[in-house]
Structure 1
Amino acid sequence: MNHIARLAGMSNFLDWRNRMMHAVWRQEESLSEEVLAWMSKTYDEFGEISEDEFLELWTMRTFSMARSAFEVIQESVLDETGKSVTGEEFCYVNYLRDPEFGPVGVVRFKSVEVSTPDWAEVLGVMAEGVQEFVMDYYAMVWPVCGRHAFGLHVDYLHETAVWKCNGGLAGGHVIRAIDPSIPTPQPRLSHG
């Protein structure tokens, strides 16, 4: 492909990507590299699909990720507490598609929700929802910092969902990645 054709193809992709981001009510700066890469792969595979087709793929990806994230979190709860968050009585994950609330489907777990097919964000939402469930159902705090005995909070570091403790002199520290298969990211040191 010559240089001019390559530029025209890139222009077509950027135009399509901007239209799709507008369709999902997002701006480029609010999307992770993972989602932008997925959009590029989708374009390479399917070409300039319509907004409706793209919204369907976006929603299906979000819902699929929510199921996978829930499995990761439920295993962590079981491993760390011996408590179960699965079964008919624990049916709190809600997959909602309602045009009044937005163009794409929303995954809700307890009082938190997500509508972006970004692994870190979906994992963080599922972790917060399960954490809320464990607190309500079992009347216990999960997870807890072994050093400070504080309940941990979901945070994001370098596009990775992490458990963070707000204790200590530095105003908090990352304990670990929420997904045990992902290495815990380290804060970047400032040179100053």
Structure 2
Amino acid sequence: MSNFSDWQDRMLRAVWRHGEQLPEEVLTWMAELYDEHGEVPEPEFCDLWTTRTFALARSAFETVARSAEQDTGKAATGDDFRYIDYVRDPDLSPVGVVHIKSAEVSTPDSAEVLGAVAEGVQEFVMSHHRVTWPVCGEHDRGLHVGYFHETAVWKCTGGMAKGHVVRAIDPAVQL
């Protein structure tokens, strides 16, 4: 019988993430999974990784779409929004991938998923509605997804410092 560290290394190789610096949230999730279920077999672990990623993407989409609609009055839902796709093809990857317009994500990290979903919704709002969203109130520039202390944020590239964090992508998160 191996220990947690050995199991974790095997599972990260299984999902093609071995050697990457993973966020604490993902490592904690893996530790909790191991504590609760022991050595989950590789196929089951890949399914759990995919299930978590897809659930995070659905939740992130609701958050970002609501924020976009509140800011612009334009919806990113319904028949017009055909850009979100959940793909599980074992021939391409051991885990599922969420495609949102041209962004994609395949990790159960809430910040990375939120960032990818925000990029996809932003791309949709800009291409479908011809609206720049979101915009920095100080510099009147479109914002870009970034990360600050493992939090997905909207960043502006304007100003003397050549950029600053404007706000968290999730309006419920205070920086």
Deviation at 1:99, TM superposition (A): 2.2
Q: Compute the TM-score of the two structures, normalised by the length of structure 1.
A: 0.88
Within a 5 Å distance, the mapping from 1:1-192 to structure 2 comes to 12-184=3-175
Q: Which has the higher helix share?
A: 1
Deviation at 1:182, TM superposition (A): 1.4
Unaligned runs of 5+ in 1: 1-7, 185-192
User: What is the DSSP-based 3-state SS (H/G/I as helix, E as strand, rest coil) of the residue aligned with 1:48?
Assistant: coil
Deviation at 1:104, TM superposition (A): 0.3
What per-residue deviation string (whole Å, max 9, x for no partner) do you get for residues 127-167 of structure 1?
00000001110111100000100000000011000000000
Q: Percent identity?
A: 62
AA aligned opposite 1:153: H
Partner Cα separation in structure 2 for residue 21 and residue 44 of structure 1: 17
Deviation at 1:78, TM superposition (A): 1.1
- Deviating above 6 A after TM superposition, structure 1's stretches of 4 or more consecutive aligned residues are none
Relative contact order higher in (CA < 8 Å, ≥ 6 apart): 2
Partner Cα separation in structure 2 for residue 80 and residue 110 of structure 1: 20
- Looking at CA atoms only, which structure, 1 or 2, has the larger radius of gyration? 1
- The size of the alignment, in residue pairs, is 175
Deviation at 1:28, TM superposition (A): 4.9
User: What is the DSSP-based 3-state SS (H/G/I as helix, E as strand, rest coil) of the residue aligned with 1:101?
Assistant: coil
Partner Cα separation in structure 2 for residue 30 and residue 131 of structure 1: 27
Q: Compute the TM-score of the two structures, normalised by the length of structure 2.
A: 0.97
AA aligned opposite 2:12: M
Partner Cα separation in structure 2 for residue 55 and residue 159 of structure 1: 23
